[in-house]
Copies of this chain bind each other. A is one copy, B any other.
């Protein structure tokens, strides 16, 4: 018998409740289009029931490749509602990478924005529905919805630990890994975001953060849980954002510094007459940015996490007494990643043998996490899962110090991931690409500091005897073969790369030189 006192946790339930409580409230704004919560739910029901009609088996994957437009929000609810698994693909990837993800996830269907169709050139033998983002009849996506029913769809969830989505990350190896989220984890992470960002039914959330990033840090579910308004954004343009702050009365948004810095420095930047709360992730806010935010009436929360932790896992909780300190001090305190949020576990920082390092703010170790908001594992990759979960904790591969007050602060990255504008770039992947250039003998790629992007890749290259290549040729070669943002910002040619006695390239030394004078080794 089903238990009266147990319902399987799923964030899909938030839409059902908000549509019930606030049917006529605006749920989604997209330019001139507006959907009430009732309309939002009906569109989700249509999509869900139409998918169900297709006869997909429970647990099969459905891919989405689109910007922050209503269909992406709808897919985030409709796909899991009928027991399917959402694969929201990064729109900045190359066609080859998209092909890999569609194939690896064995997605049965792809919904693609008309501006991104060329990214599907390698995808074959699979149903594709084009989204023209008109909201009108004749738009293939809208016609697909029209074939479904707006009536309530019964959830087929049997166990809250079932997979709700797979989010592909480029980790330390060349191939992306599929991070599996559960209904339970997504539900709990979303509630924490609602609490930490102090959202409520008056919230107008601006979609600056891509929904394909960790399912938008679980904010599609969090904003819906508190019956806030989602304000969509096809393209992140600072001028447009300033306009929406006023015209839509935006109260909350999330973004990496790549978005925040141009926003704060934009010619339309001005003190807002209402406070806006922003969560910044990917890299900490600089003192300059903090000062700018203050004058703009933007309150800043620093979050940290990985794809493997549903996005935000730690929060640098503000202590009221810090507000008395000089701004430089405040920025220093807020630059720290903090500790696990309210539904996460507390993070630890450990040495190679998984012993806690001293909380002295100096010793370095690896941040490890566990708890309900850690991924279930990597899809179809037991080996990588086993490695990531070694010793019963998830290994972030981020190197941090542990402060006496228990807050962690990231100082470096264990492996070779470069985080540029919030996007992960695998240095190994860039190296392998460069190495395919006929003139190249060996390549090492490291991150260099970049004011706008946080970090960018730089390549150190040795050329084969008798061959020649220019910096621009190497960069262009990369842009042809992998996503453009992964191409190195610069290329330095040398006779030899620094190596250990066993012949391993000492990338540490290369990076050290580039980051001289900076306190951290990550941007």
Contact = CB atoms under 8 A, between A and B. Distances in A.
Interface in A220-237: 225-227
Interface string A156-173: 000001000000000000
Interface in A1-29: 1-2, 4-7, 9, 14, 16-17, 20-23, 25
Contacts of A405: 23
A321 to B, nearest CB: 9
A243 B188 CA distance: 38
Contacts of A389: 4
A71 interface: no
Nearest to A182: B5
A393 B4 contact: yes
Query: Copy number in this complex?
Result: 2
A238 interface: no
Interface in A301-346: 317-320, 338-340, 342-343, 345-346
A225 B342 CA distance: 7
A371 interface: yes
A17 B339 CA distance: 9
A490 interface: no
A258 interface: no
A182 B7 CA distance: 13
A191 interface: yes
A372 interface: yes
Given A20-B346, A342-B14, A406-B21, A370 B225 contact: no
Nearest to A181: B5
Nearest to A19: B406
A195 interface: yes
Contacts of A191: 191, 195, 342-343
A377 B373 CA distance: 29
Given A5-B373, A227-B317, 18 more contacts: A2-B392, A4-B370, A4-B392, A5-B375, A6-B372, A14-B342, A16-B346, A20-B346, A21-B317, A21-B338, A22-B317, A23-B405, A191-B195, A195-B195, A198-B200, A201-B317, A202-B320, A225-B342
A161 B6 contact: yes
Contacts of A256: none
A16 B340 CA distance: 11
A218 to B, nearest CB: 14
A161 B12 CA distance: 22
A120 interface: no
Interface in A388-445: 389, 392-394, 405-406
Contacts of A338: 21
Nearest to A373: B5
A277 to B, nearest CB: 11
A372 to B, nearest CB: 5
A374 interface: yes
A339 B20 contact: yes
A338 B201 CA distance: 15
B392 A9 contact: no
A198 B228 CA distance: 14
A374 B23 CA distance: 26
Nearest to A227: B317
B339 A21 contact: yes
Nearest to A342: B225
